[in-house]
Amino acid sequence: MASLIDLRKVSRSYERGGERLDVLSDLDLQMEEGAFYALMGPSGSGKTTLLNLLGGIDQPDSGEVIVGGEDLAAMSNKELAQWRADNVGFVFQGFNLLSVLTARENVELPLQLSPLSKKDRRRQAEQALDLVGLADRMDHKPRELSGGQEQRVAIARAIAVDPTIVLADEPTGDLDRASADQVLELLQRLNREMGKTILLVTHDPMAADHARQIVHLDKGKLGRIDENPQEAKATSGMAEAES
């Protein structure tokens, strides 16, 4: 697989209570296109900061954040906004759905930035909801859905724009085990069947087991990258079957 993400000597710090907090320090990290990564580490290790840098939400103090050949650290805010709209789907622990909108209308929101017609936006939103198994819930509002269903709507919203990368920050943190497993299996399908690059921040080892590689961060530095042998075997077996 080709390298999609290349971080070179990336550092990021914040001011808190008058003191400087170093979150990432000279981080070097490469990630392959079409892979499923879990980012793990103790609180304060830089997981969410790393996700925000890769999504163009934040920018480093120094270093290069290269995604798909583009140096995000060199982009203006306007350029980053367009790049995010074209390339990234976000899934958060809080579902961030608008309570007054239906599932379909929530999924359509990011498509408002596209040149699609109203008819095409509706069709694309319906396709995304069908993909996550909610074709029969598209006219329901969030209060009429379970937590697991709300998160699947959030995933449909993330993939409606056909992003290259899906960034998921603790997407199962508020879900029961059964609902969490459904969401994680859905992320696996997006990776295996649609070739999406998935980056999952999690504290849950059971969630991380759905990824092919586990990236361990510690105090803003790369600890190690573990291969998940079971997931690697499943992925390679699918590739052989396709060939």
Map residue 52 onto helix, strand or coil.
helix
Structure tokens at 32: 């392959």
Is this model's pTM higher than 0.75 or not?
yes
Phi, psi for 41 (deg, rounded to 5): 155, 165
Environment class of residue 45 by beta-carbon count within 10 Å: exposed (0-12), middle (13-18) or buried (19+)? buried
Phi, psi for 152 (deg, rounded to 5): -70, -35
Cα torsion through 71, 76, 77, 81, rounded to 10: -50
**Count of domains for the chain:** 1
**pLDDT tens for each residue of the chain, 243 residues long:** 568 999 999 999 988 888 888 999 999 999 999 999 999 998 888 999 999 999 999 999 999 999 999 999 889 989 998 899 889 999 988 889 999 999 999 999 988 877 888 999 999 999 999 999 999 999 999 999 999 999 999 999 999 989 999 999 999 988 999 999 999 999 999 999 999 999 999 999 999 999 999 999 998 889 889 998 666 555 555 555 554
Domain containing residue 159? 3-242
Distance CA 30, CA 172 (A): 25
CATH number of the domain to which 63 belongs: 3.40.50.300
